[in-house]
A and B are shown apart, each in its own frame.
Chain A
Amino acid sequence: MTKIIQAEESNAQEIKKVLHPLVSEWFFSKFNELSLTQKYGVMNIWKRRNILISAETGGTKTLTAFLSILNYLVILAEKNELKNKVYAVYSSPLKALSSDIRKNLVEPLHDIEGLAEKKGIKLQKIRIALRTGDTTAYEKTKMLKNPPHILITTPESLAIILTSKNFIENLKEVEFCVVDEIHSLDNKRGAYLSITLERLNEISTSWPVKIGLSATIEPMAEVARFLVGISDDREVSIAKINLEKKIDIQVLSPVKNVVEDEGLHIKMYDLISKLVQEHKTTLIFTNTRSATERVVNFLKERYPTVYGDENIAAHHSSLSKQHRYDIEERLRQGKLKVVVCSTSLELGIDIGFIDLVIMLGSPKSSSRALQRLGRAGHQLHSMAKGRFIILDRDDLVECSVIQKEMVERKINKIRFPRNCLDVLSQQIFGMAIYKIWKEQELFNVIRKSYCYSDLTRSDFLDVISYLSGEYALEKNHIYAKIWYDKETKEIGKKGKMARVLYLTNIGTIPEESFIKVKVAGTEEVVGMIDESFLSRMRAGDVFVLGGKKYLNRYTRGMNLYVASEVRKNPTIPSWFSEMLPLSFDSAVEIDHFRTLMKKKLKSNQPKKQTLEFISSYLYVPSETAEAIYNYFLEQHSFLEIPDENTVIVEKFTDNDKKYLLFHTLYGRRVNDALSRAIGYMIGALGGRDIQVGISDNGFFLSGENMIITRALSELKEKNLEKYLKEAIDRTDVLARRFRHCATRALMILRNYKGVRRTVGKQQMKSHFLLAAVKKISNEFPILKEARREIFEDLMDVENAKLVLHWIEQGKVKIKMVETPIPSPFALNLILQGHSDLIRIEDKQAFLRRMHQLHMQNVIKRGKIDG
């Protein structure tokens, strides 16, 4: 196992000793002193120690890494020892790197060169080059001849470079490898990079020192292992820089009484506008794309003289690259008063001076909240100012607890996805492009990467079988991207176009297609909806978009035509696939607060004392404490407060529909797993479909025959996955995730035979592929991966098992209660409607039942006409 060492802080004298006089002079002409980050980083990097540095935004991390590397290169350059090779590779997942790189690398180098010239010191030219998806063929050729000493790239471009035999020659002696923004890699991009780093290690003649840069992150040891990989002969230092940066944070409610005040919506905008006007530049986070548009439009409509295109803008991932870049640029130049974004500006690109961050609705985890807050006062030591604006009472409690975690610097843990077989397929294909591998050698390299350190040989061989076309029937070899010789145990690429196919289809971020919603007859575009949302609708359904109701008339290609001015109520629940899940750590924290509140309310201590407790425990002002108190008191008086030891299940009937409502405050990802497993078992026992609704605070199940006691007694930690596998088999979510995985595994090619395919059409047709794959084998590696992705990345089966373990141990008790109407804590969950259907009844049984219903109707109408 890779060894973890706590990094030590060096003193300024020591560091000054190793700095080249030019570098030192430049540095102290710009800064008064070395930052804490530099005191931890520079010496360790100088001594060629792998290091993970985590510090809050504004902690001079990027400069620390470049300062160390530039120092080394300047020393070589003066001695005329700089070789024609790449010394350092810098990888950042961000698209808009340029301004950060300019500030932290290009300008320092330029200044140092100027200084040298002035002093008559001759320096060899230190070359820097940027290589991304946009780099032209001419630039690439130039780079090959004259390799940059520092190569700036993205994880994807780095992987591509590593398939080029010629360029690899320049990379064999890389001495430093900087991985920036590690905290944003807890996804398949990270899994991808973890193998890419091993590919770099594999071609290197000596070890490239790893420098990991991250925002505040936990668990440090695991992230450090991600950076250097898993091997007994590897070690890595960790440096957690605590700047004790002061934060100014508050939870605000637009109204005094969140329940009764109907004007919440309007007052929320008034509050936003007031805050915006009190500050110079405000950044608002809304969590979703649709809310982003809504806020911008509403502010413009409500205050037409105050907000217009020149000072307000929306920023989210479905906007074009150019559009986003333009907004970022205007933000940097201070031209915008307010920018509203979903989550897209969370990451560390420099966006200039922001003096207020507003979080509309809960950011769902403390580290995300800190990351957002870090966008304000983006300078060392200046105080970051943030305000939560709450949208309902659950939000109020959630934001308050997250605020507490922020103040107390409790960071929720991240995890990297492991053993993703789709990413592995893409990587093995890439690796086979550059050389012929021995099976064992390939397996060993992959297993050194953190995300694949426990990859089984059978999964590995299944991927090899898939890539070499063994799975395909009829021997038409369409999958065959590599060849695998079972005799010699050798693996290599197949086909002349392999490299082109690889570099035009590389990547891990799924493309979603959006359907334009137009008013029939006018061609007026009212918004966009997700393709998968459309698939759930039929003509005649009413749905909500941007706060307005529309009636689905018909679809044509990638357009949905609707009627506006609809009176009917929505027949389709709002889709919340893009909702952020509450982190398990924060959920447990809220549950703990519930436990404390339950005790206080049971003890009948004076209200004043309880209010004081809330204020001091959550760091909230008295009005906020009062609102929280009232919410808990209502629940306490109506029923009982569910807490960390008690899962309350409410049973009630509404319009002949039976409901079971579970108060399981474990976050949406755990609830997704629990609800589907329990729902599936109830459905299987009763023989009918079950509707589920999921939130971060709990879930409900609804159906006709709710055999709950037996279902609960049969569901155990050890059989959860077995039932879940069956429960998700016919769901839209499996089809959708499978399509993403198939694209990553290059079963669906976005670029094929020189043509780029539209995602929408591929989406509509991909079910053929799923059906075919299921027919070949239910354990086909890419299908298996889609299930893994659902269990581990979308859901949180691991913690769901933990909850079942608590229940089995008796640590958590389940309490069933009959209620006439849903309790106050249950209200939000019921209001949001169901989110999915657990299909038990098979297609034929459904057909027979629908036919019976049809016949009954015919008899009723007395219209049997033979």
Chain B
Amino acid sequence: MAEQKYEFIGKCLFFPVEGILVIGDLHIGYEEALIESGILVPEMQVKDVIEDLRKIIKKIQDEKHSIKKIVFLGDVKHMFSWEYIEKKNFNKILEFLNEYVKEKDIVIIKGNHDTSELGLPLKNYYIENDIAFLHGHVSYPGAFDKKINFVVSGHLHPSVTLAENPGVKKESYKCFLQGKSKGKTFIVVPSFVNFYEGIPVNEYKDDFWEDFSIIPRKDILNFKVYVIGEDKVYEFGKVGELN
């Protein structure tokens, strides 16, 4: 059986052939932002991120795959300007990842929150074989080259709400989206943030869309939803058909 092109591992995406681990929007520093807004949360994010990544990496290694590259899909930080603490925290995560891949093999895509320099090179997009990686707020012609089959993006923080008897029970879950747009297969990766599932794709507002994403709304409605469960990923059909 031919190797699958990609796998959903927890809230990350993995390309076994290329050995690329893809990490969605991290938003390092959202805790500081909460504190700034008067909600004094204890800071746990870095520890949590490292813990989660450790599990994900272990799972990949248990499946006898090797990780050659790591791609961050942008918005690694939350504030629009780099705060000292954000840099320090992000470096801790990089340090941890350096145990597995070399620094030069860690690719950081530039997101809409990454407006100032990190001291590390940020890429608008990154291409490997037939896969293009980009954040998803701005389109780059290079990422839509003829040879590209797969476009991997973040930015949307996709999640779904599942409800039974509306008004009675409603739960939300992070999810991946996968579908055709602009002649390519898109995979949208959920955000990496804990305690925040994301923006429910089945509750998008009519006019929410336009300038926000490079994927047209009508295409998204035909994307498939893959909900992340503790044990595996559950397919839930198309966005437009979700209750």
Chain A residues near B (Cβ < 8 Å)? 471-474, 476, 478-479, 536-541, 554, 556, 571-573, 689, 691, 746-753, 757, 761-762, 765-769, 771-773, 775-776, 834, 837, 839, 843-844, 846-848, 850-851, 854, 858
- Shortest Cβ distance from B147 into chain A, in angstroms? 26
Stretch binding the partner chain, chosen from B66-74, B112-120, B227-235: B227-235
A677 vs B134: C-alpha distance in the bound complex, in angstroms?
51
Interface contact A556-B205, CB-CB below 8 Å: yes
Cβ contacts under 8 Å, A834 to chain B:
168
Interface contact B39-A847, CB-CB below 8 Å: no
Q: List 5 A-B contacts (CB under 8 A).
A: A536-B170, A747-B40, A752-B37, A846-B171, A858-B237
Residue B164 contacts which of A472, A773, A850 (CB distance < 8 angstroms)? A850
Interface contact B227-A837, CB-CB below 8 Å: no
Stretch binding the partner chain, chosen from B1-9, B14-22, B42-50, B151-159: B42-50
Interface contact B166-A768, CB-CB below 8 Å: no
Cβ contacts under 8 Å, A761 to chain B:
37
Cβ contacts under 8 Å, B196 to chain A:
768
Interface contact B42-A772, CB-CB below 8 Å: yes
Interface string of B20-43 (1 = CB under 8 A from A): 000000000001001111111111
Q: For the complex of A and B, list the 10 residue pairs with the smallest distance between their C-beta atoms, beginning with the closest.
A: A749-B38, A752-B38, A554-B205, A572-B167, A771-B195, A472-B42, A851-B234, A757-B38, A850-B162, A474-B43
Cβ contacts under 8 Å, A765 to chain B:
34, 37, 39
| Chain B minimum-CB-distance residue to A850 | B162
For the residues of B in contact with A, the DSSP-based class is mixed
Cβ contacts under 8 Å, A773 to chain B:
42
Interface contact B163-A768, CB-CB below 8 Å: no
- Shortest Cβ distance from A774 into chain B, in angstroms? 10
Interface contact A474-B166, CB-CB below 8 Å: no
Interface contact B41-A769, CB-CB below 8 Å: yes
Given contacts A538-B170, A843-B171, A858-B237, contact A554 B195 (CB under 8 A): no
Residue A478 contacts which of B40, B166, B195, B227 (CB distance < 8 angstroms)? B40
Interface centre among B44, B227, B229, B231 (most CB of A within 10 A): B44
Interface contact B41-A471, CB-CB below 8 Å: no
Interface contact A538-B163, CB-CB below 8 Å: yes
A834 vs B227: C-alpha distance in the bound complex, in angstroms?
29
A750 vs B37: C-alpha distance in the bound complex, in angstroms?
9
| Chain B minimum-CB-distance residue to A543 | B167
Given contacts A689-B169, A839-B169, contact A844 B41 (CB under 8 A): no
B161 contacts chain A at the CB level, 8 A cutoff: yes
A844 vs B173: C-alpha distance in the bound complex, in angstroms?
10
Interface contact A762-B162, CB-CB below 8 Å: no
A57 vs B194: C-alpha distance in the bound complex, in angstroms?
55
Interface string of B187-212 (1 = CB under 8 A from A): 00000001110000001011000000
Interface contact B162-A768, CB-CB below 8 Å: no
Q: For chain B, which range describes its interface: under 10, 10 to 19, 20 to 34, or 35 or more residues?
A: 35 or more
A696 vs B182: C-alpha distance in the bound complex, in angstroms?
60
Interface contact B166-A571, CB-CB below 8 Å: yes
Interface contact A768-B41, CB-CB below 8 Å: yes
Cβ contacts under 8 Å, A571 to chain B:
166-167
Interface contact B171-A538, CB-CB below 8 Å: no
**Which chain B residues in 42-89 approach chain A with CB under 8 Å?**
42-44, 47
| Chain B minimum-CB-distance residue to A657 | B165
Cβ contacts under 8 Å, B162 to chain A:
846-847, 850
A846 vs B168: C-alpha distance in the bound complex, in angstroms?
13
Interface contact A540-B168, CB-CB below 8 Å: no
Interface contact B43-A479, CB-CB below 8 Å: no
Given contacts A473-B43, A538-B170, contact A844 B205 (CB under 8 A): no
Cβ contacts under 8 Å, A536 to chain B:
167, 170
Interface contact A757-B37, CB-CB below 8 Å: yes
B236 contacts chain A at the CB level, 8 A cutoff: yes
Given contacts A769-B39, A771-B194, 17 further A-B contacts (CB under 8 A): A471-B42, A472-B43, A478-B35, A538-B167, A554-B206, A571-B167, A691-B168, A748-B39, A748-B40, A753-B36, A769-B34, A834-B168, A837-B168, A839-B169, A843-B171, A847-B162, A851-B236
Interface string of B215-236 (1 = CB under 8 A from A): 0000000000001011100101
Interface contact A537-B167, CB-CB below 8 Å: yes
Cβ contacts under 8 Å, B231 to chain A:
844
A538 vs B243: C-alpha distance in the bound complex, in angstroms?
11
A757 vs B34: C-alpha distance in the bound complex, in angstroms?
11
| Chain A minimum-CB-distance residue to B236 | A854
Residue A479 contacts which of B36, B40, B47 (CB distance < 8 angstroms)? B40
A689 vs B164: C-alpha distance in the bound complex, in angstroms?
11
Interface contact B43-A476, CB-CB below 8 Å: yes
| Chain B minimum-CB-distance residue to A473 | B42
Interface contact A768-B34, CB-CB below 8 Å: yes
- Shortest Cβ distance from B219 into chain A, in angstroms? 17
- Shortest Cβ distance from A564 into chain B, in angstroms? 17
A775 vs B44: C-alpha distance in the bound complex, in angstroms?
10
Cβ contacts under 8 Å, B42 to chain A:
471-474, 476, 478-479, 772-773, 776
Interface contact B161-A538, CB-CB below 8 Å: yes
Interface centre among A554, A572, A768, A848 (most CB of B within 10 A): A768
Cβ contacts under 8 Å, A472 to chain B:
42-43
| Chain B minimum-CB-distance residue to A555 | B205
Cβ contacts under 8 Å, B43 to chain A:
472-474, 476, 478
A689 vs B196: C-alpha distance in the bound complex, in angstroms?
24
Interface contact A847-B234, CB-CB below 8 Å: yes
Given contacts A554-B205, A761-B37, A768-B196, contact A473 B169 (CB under 8 A): no
Cβ contacts under 8 Å, B171 to chain A:
843, 846-847
- Shortest Cβ distance from B168 into chain A, in angstroms? 6
- Shortest Cβ distance from B220 into chain A, in angstroms? 16
- Shortest Cβ distance from B172 into chain A, in angstroms? 9
A540 vs B204: C-alpha distance in the bound complex, in angstroms?
12
Cβ contacts under 8 Å, B161 to chain A:
538
- Shortest Cβ distance from B2 into chain A, in angstroms? 16
- Shortest Cβ distance from A716 into chain B, in angstroms? 29
- Shortest Cβ distance from B212 into chain A, in angstroms? 14
Cβ contacts under 8 Å, B34 to chain A:
765, 768-769
A757 vs B40: C-alpha distance in the bound complex, in angstroms?
13
A539 vs B166: C-alpha distance in the bound complex, in angstroms?
10
Interface contact A768-B40, CB-CB below 8 Å: no
Cβ contacts under 8 Å, B36 to chain A:
752-753
- Shortest Cβ distance from B203 into chain A, in angstroms? 5
- Shortest Cβ distance from B206 into chain A, in angstroms? 7
A541 vs B236: C-alpha distance in the bound complex, in angstroms?
22
Cβ contacts under 8 Å, A554 to chain B:
203, 205-206
A691 vs B164: C-alpha distance in the bound complex, in angstroms?
12
| Chain A minimum-CB-distance residue to B30 | A768
Given contacts A571-B166, A846-B162, contact A750 B206 (CB under 8 A): no
| Chain B minimum-CB-distance residue to A747 | B40
Interface centre among A766, A772, A775 (most CB of B within 10 A): A772
| Chain B minimum-CB-distance residue to A766 | B39
Cβ contacts under 8 Å, B206 to chain A:
554
Interface contact A573-B37, CB-CB below 8 Å: no
Cβ contacts under 8 Å, B35 to chain A:
478
Interface centre among A541, A765, A844 (most CB of B within 10 A): A765
Given contacts A473-B43, A476-B43, A554-B206, contact A851 B37 (CB under 8 A): no
Interface contact B203-A538, CB-CB below 8 Å: yes
Cβ contacts under 8 Å, A843 to chain B:
171, 173
A602 vs B163: C-alpha distance in the bound complex, in angstroms?
48
Cβ contacts under 8 Å, B230 to chain A:
844
A769 vs B196: C-alpha distance in the bound complex, in angstroms?
12
- Shortest Cβ distance from A553 into chain B, in angstroms? 8
